[in-house]
Amino acid sequence: MYELKIIRERREGYGARKQFRHAHDIYETFHNRFERADREEFIVLLLDAKNKLLGFHVVSVGSLTASVVHPREVFKVAILGNAVALILVHNHPSGDPLPSAEDVAITTRLCQIGEVLGIKILDHVVIGEGRYVSFVEDGYLQGQITGAQQVSPRP
């Protein structure tokens, strides 16, 4: 079931076999999807050993301000899709892409679980209105910043 959905979504023009080198590449590929979204969506990009896109899966669609993400749903699709690595992407309908404390907490938890499973989380990109924040580029994954601190989102 998941394998067919992943392949179908890859064919729908979201960068089939595209290789992501920077968070900006992710933003450019997915920002149109979130342009008019009125709810948070949490998407997992499945990558092969060369960080090329195998496909993606919508893990959760939430409310105006939150999306419930359970690790089991993230890694279920990763395992069934034969992913070596993942990139997490979600939107903030408010337009402000600064990660919340909950965003930082779930990303940290997913990274820990990924280490156990051998599936690396390469980044988490939060997309807002014309801007984005990358957990890697802005230091969230290295533990340099907490959800309460501020960074400047990129255009």
pLDDT in tens, 52-107: 888 889 999 887 666 789 999 999 999 999 999 999 999 999 999 999 999 999 99
Q: Which domains does the chain have, with CATH numbers?
A: 2-134 (3.40.140.10)
pLDDT at position 144, please? 45
Closest CA to 85 of 38, 40, 37, 136: 136
Strand partners for 154: 132
Do the beta carbons of residue 147 and residue 99 sit within 8 Å? yes
Main-chain phi, psi angles of 116, to 5 degrees: -65, -40
pLDDT per residue as tens digits for the range 23-58:
999 999 889 988 888 899 999 999 999 888 888 899
Q: With 0.75 as the threshold, say if the pTM is over it.
A: yes
pLDDT at position 14, please? 54
Strand partners for 134: 125
Q: Starting from the edge strand earliest in sequence, which strands make up the sheet with 53-61, in order?
A: 53-61, 41-47, 85-91, 120-127, 132-134
Mapped onto helix, strand or coil, the DSSP state of residue 146 is coil
pLDDT at position 148, please? 40
- Within 10 angstroms of residue 3's Cβ, the number of other Cβ atoms is 13
